[in-house]
């Protein structure tokens, strides 16, 4: 992607140091300066994700606390309230799935 300030940069928001992105605090300050409320924007961006995915998955992927994403998911009307996080590929000891021929 080309940017106006540095066409060779691979970053959408290149920082002052070569090869580095703009820092989150500096970007936040710039957005606040032009009137974009950061907290509201973050909340608005995460809510659609919580309608598509369980809160623990979103929390892990985005670095949120799972209680925060659970609360936002409930406020949004998400339907993942019975989702159990964890490794679902593993089965309990002694458990055999139906239809495998073992009894």
DSSP 14-70: B-SSTT-BPPHHHHHHHHHHTT--HHHHHHHHHHHHHHHS-HHHHHHHHT--HHHHH
Asked whether residue 46 is assigned to any structural domain, the reply reads yes
Asked whether residue 53 is assigned to any structural domain, the reply reads yes
Asked whether residue 43 is assigned to any structural domain, the reply reads yes
Task: Convert the pLDDT of each residue in 29-55 to its tens digit.
Answer: 888 999 988 888 888 889 999 988 888
Domain hosting 43: range is 24-76
**Residue 80, token pair as written in the block:** 């993942």
pTM for this prediction:
0.53
Asked whether residue 67 is assigned to any structural domain, the reply reads yes
Task: Count CB neighbours of 53 within 10 A.
Answer: 17
Asked whether residue 13 is assigned to any structural domain, the reply reads no
Asked whether residue 58 is assigned to any structural domain, the reply reads yes
Asked whether residue 18 is assigned to any structural domain, the reply reads no
Average pLDDT, the chain: 79
Total domain count for the chain? 1
């Amino acid at each position: 992607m080309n940017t106006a300030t540095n066409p060779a940069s691979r970053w959408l928001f290149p920082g002052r140091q070569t090869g580095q992105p703009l820092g989150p605090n500096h970007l936040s300050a710039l957005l606040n300066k032009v009137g974009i409320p950061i907290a509201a924007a973050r909340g608005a961006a995460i809510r659609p994700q919580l309608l598509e995915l369980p809160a623990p998955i979103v929390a892990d992927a985005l670095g949120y606390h799972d209680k925060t994403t659970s609360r936002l998911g409930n406020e949004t009307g998400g339907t993942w309230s019975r989702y159990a996080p964890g490794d679902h590929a593993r089965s309990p000891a002694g458990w055999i799935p139906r239809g495998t021929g073992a009894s």
